[in-house]
Amino acid sequence: VRVLFMIPLNRIDGRRWVHANLVVGKDGSTIFNGNSQKLSSAVDRKRFHQIREGADVIVIGRNTAENEPYSKTPKPLIILSSTLETFEKNPEAVIWNKPLKDVLADAEMEFGSQILLEAGTRLLKSFMEEDLLDGIYLTLSPVKGGEQRIVWQKFFKNFTIMESFEHGEETFLLLQREA
């Protein structure tokens, strides 16, 4: 499996970049029975781990922390939550309750400039509304019948497809924020 560019060409200058990784089903589902695992294939999971290798830190929200397998991560993990005080599944994770701009500045200072957002659509939307997301690794899965549906073309309307490739019934995209 080939992986898409880890850093878009306009970010190889060492400046901070923030990318998200998301899988979306054929009908726009972003979760299936509470998490994204059934939307993801073995190829998507391999790509997911390759993308993580290029990150300095992983940022997730409380819902993702509670519903996805985050007991162990290969990179430092930041959980954004105003209600969570501890995360027993991964005691090494840090929990922050601060504005998103401060999250990014502090994450860069503490962990490094390559920040990977592995979050649901609500947190993704918050990052996009504040113009804090540089790009998205998007997997279009053939699975349907899940929940929290989006029309990805509308949801990511301020992003341009930089690269696309197909593998079987899946399409893998790299989207970059329009300048």
pTM: 0.89
Q: What is the pLDDT of residue 141?
A: 93
- Can you give the three-state secondary structure of 64-127, one letter per residue? HHHHCCCCCCCCCEEEECCCCCCCCCCCCCEEECCCHHHHHHHHHHHCCCEEEECCCHHHHHHH
Q: What pLDDT is recorded for position 80?
A: 96
Identify the band that residue 8 occupies on the pLDDT scale cut at 50, 70 and 90: very low
- Checking if the pLDDT of 9 tops 50, the result is no
Per-residue pLDDT tens for 69-95?
Answer: 888 899 999 999 999 888 888 989 999
- Rounded distance, CA 126 to CA 11, Å? 22
Average pLDDT over every residue of 98-110? 96
The per-residue DSSP string of 25-46 comes to -TTS-SBBTTBSGGG--HHHHH
d(CA 70, CA 93): 9
Q: How far apart are CA 139 and CA 133, in angstroms?
A: 17
Residues in contact with 130: Cβ distance below 8 Å, sequence separation at least 6, in sequence order = 100, 101
* Dihedral of alpha carbons 130, 134, 140, 146, sign: negative
Q: Does 33 or 159 have the greater pLDDT score?
A: 159
Query: What would the pLDDT profile of 35-70 be if each residue is shown by its tens digit?
Result: 787 888 888 888 888 889 889 999 999 989 988 888
Per-residue pLDDT tens for 112-158?
999 999 988 999 999 999 999 999 999 999 988 877 888 889 999 99
In DSSP terms, 18 is beta-bridged to 115
Q: Could you report how far apart the first and last alpha carbons of the chain are, in Å?
A: 30
pLDDT, position 2 = 54
Residues in Cβ contact with 12 at an 8 Å cutoff, skipping those fewer than 6 apart: none
